[in-house]
Structure 1
Amino acid sequence: MSRIVLRNSYQLFCFIVLSFLLFSCSAKQKKEKVLTVYTAASVSKVMQQIATDFEKDTGIVLRINVASSGTLARQIEAGANFDYFISASREWMAYVDSLSLVDRGSISTMANNRIVAVVPVSNTDLMIGDSDLSHFSSLFKGRLAIGDPSYVPVGKYAQQIIQKYKWEADLKNRYLPAKDARDALFMVEMGEVEMGMVYYSDALQSKKLRIVYKFPIQASAPIRYYGATGKKQNKTLTLFVNYMQSEKVHQIWVKNGFNHN
């Protein structure tokens, strides 16, 4: 009788161990089929399109986390789990690199952008020429939507342009700071402000506003997007990095108004 009990107990033990191993293996395989990508808000549409194609082509799901570059960097600093980080700011990429939170050898320039002035589509009259820049602040009433320069890259670039053309005094107390690039765009679309300074790529996709001026590329620091992997490497992540260099991905960037490297 005791032998039967022992044999049954041994079989139950083996079954539990085998089930655990199979579950662990299955969980690991499932985990390897998902990558978490932290994405600057201004490239969220690009990454959603890439994610759709990537899953169709490889069966691997991209879980996209969208926010301003500064917010994403702080999340990563706080220990958030990610596989790939796309920053609209060299400074924020350098910040997470300084904390050894990304693979330094994987950091690369992904695309370029520019800043434009936009108004609600209901404003059908205003167009800005180079000669109008000397009295820019008088071309609209009320406040100007820009990203918050303290941590939103599009706001920093807008601030650099404002400083270059010496508009600080005229625009003082007229800024409506946004939490990220898309929020700055949304403020103009909703008519909360008469003008905004946003990314060309974002403005190109909106049917609710008009581009009234494209600022020279030289008017601010180069507007570049940077990508880097996390410290944990695997074959799935390598596949994604290689996919990001494909012609299909290049065309998605270009279609959305970016100058892709």
Structure 2
Amino acid sequence: MIRRMLLLLATLLLAVPATAQPRPPVVLAAASLQESMNAAADAWARQGHLRPTLSFAASSALARQVAAGAPADLFVSADVEWMDDLDRRDLLARGSRVNLLGNRLVLIAPADSMARVALRQGVDLRAALNGGRLAMADPDAVPAGRYGKAALTRLRAWDAVAASVVRAENVRAALALVERGAAPLGIVYATDAKASAKVRVVGVFPAASHPPIVYPVARLKASRNVEGERFRRFLVSPAGRAIFVRYGFSPR
């Protein structure tokens, strides 16, 4: 998968004529940022800039692409750990890393579900599943899944439902499983639930049940595109952050 995504990014860059200067910045962004980052890219383009090329996937997959040499300018992760990993590899431009956004973790069900779950210590989530599966991003690698596992562990519910978990590729894939009715419950970010009319929030995880949800942004050290740095500065500006707030994120 990483090889296919690297090929796609390289193809996108090669499609830009050699005489076109500057070129659009390439942004690798967490899957949960699809609507909001597209809105930010549109706002940037309306100011007379070239619209950024956006690539969305799980932060884990994107970080591995960067480590493998993906031709990109910015990385926006859904957690600090994958950004830390690139920092340790000396792949980030010094001084460009900023904590951009925050989010909440929620439990969702299909829109027509009557379920409601009180997410507190000792919650019997297995009973709420009623023999069904729990959709969530891969808890071993993807930020939304890691936050979800941490929350369920803190609430003493993980051991009871671990065997029922469907490990999705990213948080939007977990959302899709619930949208289709393939899973009666799922764990996603509050912004993902807000973006879909096909699901409803049936519980909100206590903020103290998992590590703070933080989305850092950074320019990649290998980037030589001045438009990438300009777009990064726009994202962290009050005007840029305000766009994400409209989609349910909290500023950091």
Which category of TM-score, normalised to the shorter sequence, fits these structures? 0.7 to 0.9
Amino acid aligned to 2:25: L
Amino acid aligned to 2:136: I
Which of 228, 248, 261 is the aligned partner of 2:239? 248
User: Contact (CA 8 Å) 2:23, 2:225: kept in 1 or not?
Assistant: no
Amino acid aligned to 2:96: S
Sequence identity (%): 30
Task: Give the superposition deviation at 1:181.
Answer: 0.8
Distance of aligned partners of 1:172 and 1:235 in 2 relative to their CA distance in 1, 3 Å threshold: closer
Unpaired runs of 5+ in structure 2? 1-15
Provide, for residues 170-218 of structure 1, a one-character-per-residue CA deviation record: whole Å limited to 9, x for no partner: 1131000100010010100000000001100110111001101111111
Q: Which residue does 1:140 correspond to in 2?
A: 129
Quick check: which has more Rg, 1 or 2? Answer: 1
Distance in 2, Cα, partners of 1:90 & 1:83? 18
SS state of the match for residue 91, structure 2?
Answer: coil
Distance of aligned partners of 1:63 and 1:131 in 2 relative to their CA distance in 1, 3 Å threshold: closer
Q: Which residue does 1:37 correspond to in 2?
A: 27
Distance in 2, Cα, partners of 1:224 & 1:169? 26
User: Contact (CA 8 Å) 2:122, 2:157: kept in 1 or not?
Assistant: no
User: Contact (CA 8 Å) 2:119, 2:206: kept in 1 or not?
Assistant: no
Amino acid aligned to 2:161: L
Unpaired runs of 5+ in structure 1? 1-25
Q: Which residue does 1:107 correspond to in 2?
A: 97
Distance in 2, Cα, partners of 1:221 & 1:157? 7
Alignment: residue pair count: 235
Higher helix share: 1
Task: Give the superposition deviation at 1:219.
Answer: 0.8
For residues 69-218 of structure 1, what are the structure 2 equivalents within 5 Å? 69-123=59-113, 125-129=114-118, 134-141=123-130, 142-218=132-208
Distance in 1, Cα, partners of 2:148 & 2:178? 15
SS state of the match for residue 118, structure 1?
Answer: strand
Provide, for residues 124-148 of structure 1, a one-character-per-residue CA deviation record: whole Å limited to 9, x for no partner: x222235695322211221100100
Distance in 2, Cα, partners of 1:92 & 1:131? 29
Distance in 2, Cα, partners of 1:118 & 1:206? 11
Distance of aligned partners of 1:131 and 1:28 in 2 relative to their CA distance in 1, 3 Å threshold: closer
Distance of aligned partners of 1:138 and 1:35 in 2 relative to their CA distance in 1, 3 Å threshold: same
User: Contact (CA 8 Å) 1:112, 1:258: kept in 2 or not?
Assistant: yes
Q: Which residue does 1:22 correspond to in 2?
A: none
Please report the RMSD computed on the Cα atoms of aligned residues, expressed in angstroms. Answer: 1.8
Which of 238, 244, 254 is the aligned partner of 2:229? 238
Q: Which residue does 2:10 correspond to in 1?
A: none
TM-score, normalising length: structure 2: 0.87
Amino acid aligned to 1:224: V
Distance of aligned partners of 1:95 and 1:31 in 2 relative to their CA distance in 1, 3 Å threshold: farther
Provide, for residues 79-108 of structure 1, a one-character-per-residue CA deviation record: whole Å limited to 9, x for no partner: 110100001121111111111111131111
SS state of the match for residue 146, structure 2?
Answer: helix
